[in-house]
Structures are given as structure tokens and as C-alpha cells.
A and B are shown apart, each in its own frame.
Chain A
Amino acid sequence: MPDIIFNPYSTNPYGQFHCDTASLCPVSKALLPVIRHFLNALLKPKTMGWRFAQTSAVGTWGEGRGLAIAYCTQQFLSAVLMCRPVPLSFNDPLNLGLREEMKGDEAAMLSLLSAMRADETAQARACVLYLTQGQMRAPVVQSALILAKRLEFDTSGAGPRKKPVLRVVE
């Protein structure tokens, strides 16, 4: 089951989707600041937020995998933004007071990735349609699937990949 099920009708008039981030699975929880920093970078280029996004991903998943996840996240967000006439709404990643709340668009993105990892096609389709405002665009689906695949190896929760234990084989 996906850890977050997004319902577009549950957002309040201010676009806040009341979801306790503490209830998210470790993967979604770790991905949220990466998404927020990248959105900051993409929508406000002078913030250079992509550096913080990468630092956050490296801190969670280690250098190689973290940077690859960050790259896939950036591709996914770029694809979503390309097919929307309005920017995505998101909370400031540097605002401590807003860390426990999510905007509707953030919740939809996490729900989409969570649904793809859990193979919940109907939920994933609803989230794509919400994010792209009714258009089923191939680049969005493709980039989301690539990111979901990158994330799905994490079965024991987010954390740097453990090095394999070496043993002498006789």
C-alpha cells in the first residue's frame, strides 16, 4: 500500500494538504526536502537550491545513490513543470514552521511516487492527472517511473547504502 494517499478534495482553500509528515514512510520523508529545494531552485534560480537538494540526498542515501536520486528528482520535477501553465506550490524548505505541513502539489508528487513503488496504478494515474492538470504526458510518467525505480530498492528505510560484508570463501 502507498504510505500517502492523496485526495485532491482534501486540500483547504489555501492549498494546504493537511498531512502529518511524521506518518510518511522514511523514503517519502527523506525525499520531501529534496523536492522542496529543487522546486526552490527551479522556480527561484537565484537561491541555487539545487545544491541543498543534492546535499540533502547525499546525506540520506550516500554520494553515488543520493546524487543519482537527486538527478532523477530534478528530471521528474522539470517534466511536471514543463506541462503545467502554473508553477507547483510548495512550502519553503528553510522555514522550520512549515516542515510538518505539505501543499497539495507536494502531497500529490509523493503520493504518485509511493503509488508507483507499490504498483497502485489507479492512484498513480489520479496523481499524474492532478499534477499535470488533466494531461497524461509521457515524460512525466517516464521520469516518475525512473525515480520510483531508483527509490524502490530501499526496503529497510532511508539511509546510506551499507557496504557489502566481505568474507573469505574457501
Chain B
Amino acid sequence: MSKTNLNRCENREPQVREINRSAAGFDAAEDTLLTIARCFFQSYAIPDSQSWMPGYDIAEAAFGDETGSMIATRMFTALRAVRYSRRSMFCFNSPTCACCAQVVTEHERRLMQALQSIRCNYTGRAQTELMMLCEGNSVVQVIDAMIRLSNVLPSRVEQAYVDA
């Protein structure tokens, strides 16, 4: 499912369809969630990395002990739903490389924009992003998982939503 970007990362610039993380319009919770998601992707791609552990550590530090674990687990459930629906590789950047982590791949961007839209009650837009991400396959499970995730996230400030 997942494939890390192993290109040379020194002075890495966003490639086609990639964006800078700072320009993605994520609030603090979404920024943390992207890192957590990358940890889970890495755990799938390189099981020996045991990246799920830092994923939970980051969630616990950012959202508190009970809520943090719950948020990380619901994020993982959403990613698993994407994994079942999407057939092709999912490209992600390494959470541990300071340079690569500042670039958001196309797949990560679609995933996070879907979550952003669900948090802002734009379900139609989320559905479109997820259909693109999941290559036209059913996204019902993914939307359900994302709604469950957004229910435990802190509320989003509407003005911060960037219509990218």
C-alpha cells in the first residue's frame, strides 16, 4: 500500500502535485495527525521500524493520554479503510526526515483535505477527494472512519480552513 519517497532529500522541493506543508492550511491537530499517519504508513512499509510506537507517543503528547490513544487508533482505522479501498501504492514522506517531512505528497494531501472537509462539515467535498484517492472504489467505510475520528478531535476554527 505504502511507499516512502527515497529520493535525495537535501533541499527537497515539492514535485508535481506536491505542496509545502506550511502552505497546506493544516491546523495544529491536522499537522499532528499527518505525522501520526506517516508513522503508521512507515510501520506498514517497514515493519521493523516499529513506527507505530512513536505514532502513539506523538498522539499522547499532543492530545493527552486517553484521547491521544483514541485519536491515533481512529486515525489508524481510517487509514486501514483507505488501504482496503485503494489498490495502488500510497506515496508518503518519511516522518523522521526533517526535510522530506515538510513536503506533502499528492496522496497525503487528498487524505488530509478529506479529513479537513469532514471537520468543516463539507462531506461532499470529502467524498470527492476520497474518490480520487481511492481510485473510484467505495469510500463509505473511509468516510465513516473519518467522521468517527473527527468526533474526538478538537473543533476546527472555520476561518483557518484553506480552500486549496
B residues contacting A by CB (< 8 A) are 43, 47-50, 52-53, 56, 60, 65-70, 73, 76
Interface residues of A, dominant DSSP:
helix
Shortest C-beta distance, A129 to chain B (Å), equals 26
18 A-B residue pairings within 8 Å (CB atoms):
A41-B50, A45-B48, A45-B50, A50-B52, A63-B70, A63-B73, A64-B67, A64-B69, A65-B66, A67-B66, A67-B69, A67-B73, A68-B69, A71-B60, A71-B65, A71-B69, A74-B53, A74-B56
**A65-B66, A68-B66, A71-B69 are known contacts. Are A46 and B56 too (CB-CB below 8 A)?**
no
Shortest C-beta distance, B55 to chain A (Å), equals 10
Q: How many A-B residue pairs have CB under 8 A?
A: 35
For A51, the chain B residues whose CB sits under 8 A away are: 76
For B49, the chain A residues whose CB sits under 8 A away are: 45
A residues contacting B by CB (< 8 A) are 41-42, 45-46, 48, 50-51, 54, 63-65, 67-68, 70-71, 74, 78
For A54, the chain B residues whose CB sits under 8 A away are: 73
Task: Determine the distance from Cα of A64 to Cα of B66 in the docked complex, in whole angstroms.
Answer: 5
Assess whether B56 is in contact with A71, with CB atoms less than 8 Å apart.
yes
Task: Determine the distance from Cα of A56 to Cα of B68 in the docked complex, in whole angstroms.
Answer: 18
Tell me which of B48, B56, B70 contacts A64 (CB under 8 A).
B70
> Which residue of chain A is the closest to B48 with respect to CB atoms?
A45
For B52, the chain A residues whose CB sits under 8 A away are: 50
Shortest C-beta distance, B48 to chain A (Å), equals 5
> Which residue of chain B is the closest to A64 with respect to CB atoms?
B66
Assess whether A67 is in contact with B70, with CB atoms less than 8 Å apart.
yes
Task: Determine the distance from Cα of A65 to Cα of B70 in the docked complex, in whole angstroms.
Answer: 9
> Which residue of chain B is the closest to A70 with respect to CB atoms?
B69
Assess whether A46 is in contact with B47, with CB atoms less than 8 Å apart.
yes
For B73, the chain A residues whose CB sits under 8 A away are: 54, 63, 67
Task: Determine the distance from Cα of A83 to Cα of B139 in the docked complex, in whole angstroms.
Answer: 45
Shortest C-beta distance, B155 to chain A (Å), equals 19
Assess whether A42 is in contact with B47, with CB atoms less than 8 Å apart.
no
Assess whether A78 is in contact with B53, with CB atoms less than 8 Å apart.
yes
> Which residue of chain B is the closest to A54 with respect to CB atoms?
B73
Assess whether A68 is in contact with B65, with CB atoms less than 8 Å apart.
yes
Assess whether B47 is in contact with A45, with CB atoms less than 8 Å apart.
yes
Shortest C-beta distance, A154 to chain B (Å), equals 15
- The 6 A-B pairs with the shortest beta carbon distances in the complex, nearest first, are A67-B69, A45-B47, A64-B66, A68-B66, A46-B47, A71-B69
Task: Determine the distance from Cα of A78 to Cα of B52 in the docked complex, in whole angstroms.
Answer: 13
Task: Determine the distance from Cα of A85 to Cα of B48 in the docked complex, in whole angstroms.
Answer: 19
For B76, the chain A residues whose CB sits under 8 A away are: 51
For B47, the chain A residues whose CB sits under 8 A away are: 45-46, 48
